[in-house]
Amino acid sequence: MKLRRSFSSHQLIFALGLSLFAHLEADAQDKVTTNDGRVQIVKVLGVAGSNLQVQVGAGSIGLPMATIRSVEMPIPSEFTAGKAAFDAQDFAKSLQPIKTVVEKFKGLPTVWARQAASMLGDIYVTLNKLPEAEAAYQDFQKAYPGQGSVQTDVGLARIAVSKKDYDTAKAKLEPITADALKEKHAPTDKAAAYSQAFFLLGQVNEAQQDYPTALENYLRTVTLFPADRAAVNGAKEKADALRKDHGITVP
């Protein structure tokens, strides 16, 4: 009995084409939506300058970032690892994976890419690398114009706090926290910044020995603006210490 079957050259080419198409479809798992509503299924490689690099066959092309409304793709494992370390306040461990994400995806219109870009400055501050922190915050604002101004101001306030320049920090933070209290729900692009702002303002209040106001702002971080886990964890610790060391309570 003959079990082998011979294929014509046309059948073989067709079979190879189907195999290549299936392979490309498996790779092209990301969705890019342009400003005019068109959707493209591609494989996102990263951001280079003002272009989004996507895979095309064995090569790549650049799509102008200015024409892109949104990108849907899996969250990179580096972000997940870096965010976990950041939330655990292991900032030295979080630096490299978050830096990798920023270098590859800075400017990408996704929540995690924007968060990584803002976190990088925070990490540098905690590691006492203040010039790097300031540069990171400024890069964040350039990468996300219109969205980065609040987060940048929070970042610069963080630098001021680390320098014990509390008046400068307070001047940057109080307009942000005042706006936050006027809003019933924090916008997605400002939620983390609001959380960090109240935590930082609490530190400023505490340094200036205004303990009741410090506790109030720590508790606002925990209860009203809990978007940033690291800020919430820090605020809880600070609030507990104020209660224990000074017997402070909030009416």
Domain ranges of the chain: 9-72, 77-246
Residue range 9-72, CATH number: 2.30.30.100
Find the mean pLDDT for residues 28-37: 90
Q: Which fold has domain 77-246?
A: 1.25.40
Find the mean pLDDT for residues 233-242: 95
- Contacts by 35-42, CB closer than 8 A, 24 or more apart: 35/67, 35/68, 35/69, 37/69
Compute the mean pLDDT over every residue in the chain, rounded to the nearest whole number. Answer: 87
Residue 2 pLDDT > 50, yes or no?
no
Q: Tell me the pLDDT band of 133, cut-offs 50, 70 and 90.
A: very high
Residue 23 pLDDT > 70, yes or no?
no
Find the mean pLDDT for residues 201-208: 97
From CA 152, how far away is CA 34, in angstroms rounded?
A: 27
Find the mean pLDDT for residues 82-104: 95
